[in-house]
Amino acid sequence: MIGGFDIFALVLIVLAIIIVISAVKTIPQGFNYTVERFGRYTRTLGPGLHFIVPLVDRVGRKLNMMERVLNVPSQEVITKDNATVTADGVTFFQILDAPLAAYEVNNLENAILNLTMTNIRTVMGSLDLDQLLSQRDEINHRLLTVVDNATEPWGVKVTRIEIKDINPPRDLVEAMARQMKAEREKRASILESEGLRQSDILKAEGQKLSIVLEAEGRKEAAFRDAEAREREAEAEANATKVVSDAVADGSVQALNYFVAQKYIEALQALASAPNQKVLMLPIEAASVIGAIGGIADLTKDALGDGGGSGGGGANPAGGRSTRSSSSSTRSSSRSAKSSKSSVPSSGANGASPWPGE
């Protein structure tokens, strides 16, 4: 039978085992344990194997030192322009000081969650709806700054706050869609008007350039025409001078040739007019024939001058005979002109109307 001493020894062994087990503490990676002695915080145990005083020290709080995420539930927010929207988000935080996180705040996660929700309403409520929808980065930055400063005494570092969804009411979304459509149509109209204005400007510039070039062309053409008329006048003056010199030297046949040429050119212009098909004029044939006779005398004079120069010496009598022949030709031409009125009567008598025939 087991005596009382054996039982006492067995109890002592069990108590020793319990005390040893309670004195040895193994802390996993990513956690910190606080040690309390008679209910008061004394130290913090990091990851690894640790020993505490049995029956005197005990583990107080077990804290997760890794970064954690906290979902922020949806809540209604009234913006600065009295628009009601629903917003939710996420918060990332990490415990940096285990004693502060354990003893400065009760229920750390709930405290951070409520702090984040109230600051979301504060920050988003200070903005208009358009700013709320377009400035999410600014909202996240402001929330992070406010919440991180508020949780610093708790030994917590808030690393990031993100707004996940912002949901305006359905009627407000439809109104925004109509506004966006109207704005885009307005921009399209403005761009179309700008395009038309630019097109008109380019057309006007093209017409202006065309008019300028056309004016320059007319100017150049007028200059060329004036130069041509000047050259023609110079040629006419030179021809007139030659004829005048010939008349001054006693050669009337050159004057007759000049007048006959102008006379024939005038008749040719009248005959070639596009609005004239039949031409009936009382042509003075005697004048034309006299002019032709003058041309013949000019030819004879030229041939006679050439023969005299080729013979080695000209006879004065021959020169006088040539001039007398020219005088007789001029007198016959004048007699033909003066006897213009007697042409019909001569024809009636059966005689030739021209002298010498």
Q: Which tokens go with 251? A: 């050669």
Over residues 95-121, the pLDDT tens digits come to 999 999 999 999 999 999 999 999 999
Cα separation, 322 vs 293, in Å, equals 14
In order, the DSSP letters of 140-188 are: HHHHHHHHHHHHGGGTEEEEEEEEEEEE--HHHHHHHHHHHHHHHHHHH
Q: Which tokens go with 275? A: 């609005």
Q: Which tokens go with 239? A: 């021809």
Q: Which is higher by pLDDT, 344 or 293? A: 293
Q: What is the pLDDT of residue 240?
A: 76
Q: What is the pLDDT of residue 159?
A: 94
What are 58-62's contacts with CB under 8 Å, separation 24+?
Answer: 59/25, 59/33, 59/34, 59/35, 60/33, 60/34, 60/35, 60/36, 60/102, 61/33, 61/34, 61/98, 61/102, 61/103, 62/31, 62/32, 62/33
Q: Which tokens go with 58? A: 């005990």
Q: What is the pLDDT of residue 277?
A: 54
Place 122 in a pLDDT band, splitting at 50, 70 and 90: very high
Cα separation, 353 vs 346, in Å, equals 6
Place 348 in a pLDDT band, splitting at 50, 70 and 90: very low
Q: Which is higher by pLDDT, 28 or 309? A: 28
Is the pLDDT at 255 greater than 90, yes or no?
no
Q: What is the pLDDT of residue 303?
A: 57
Q: Which tokens go with 130? A: 């358009």
Please provide the average confidence, as pLDDT, over all residues in the chain: 77
The answer to whether the Cα torsion of 114, 120, 122, 123 is positive or negative is positive
Q: What is the pLDDT of residue 90?
A: 95
Q: Which of 11-20, 40-49, 255-264, 314-323 has the lowest mean pLDDT?
A: 314-323
| DSSP structural state of residue 272 | T
Grouping H, G, I as helix, E, B as strand and the rest as coil, residue 132 is: helix
Q: Tell which phi-psi region holds residue 350, choosing left (phi > 0), alpha (psi between -120 and 50) or beta.
A: left
Is the pLDDT at 316 greater than 50, yes or no?
no
Cα separation, 279 vs 269, in Å, equals 11
Place 341 in a pLDDT band, splitting at 50, 70 and 90: very low
Q: What is the pLDDT of residue 256?
A: 67
Q: What is the pLDDT of residue 147?
A: 94
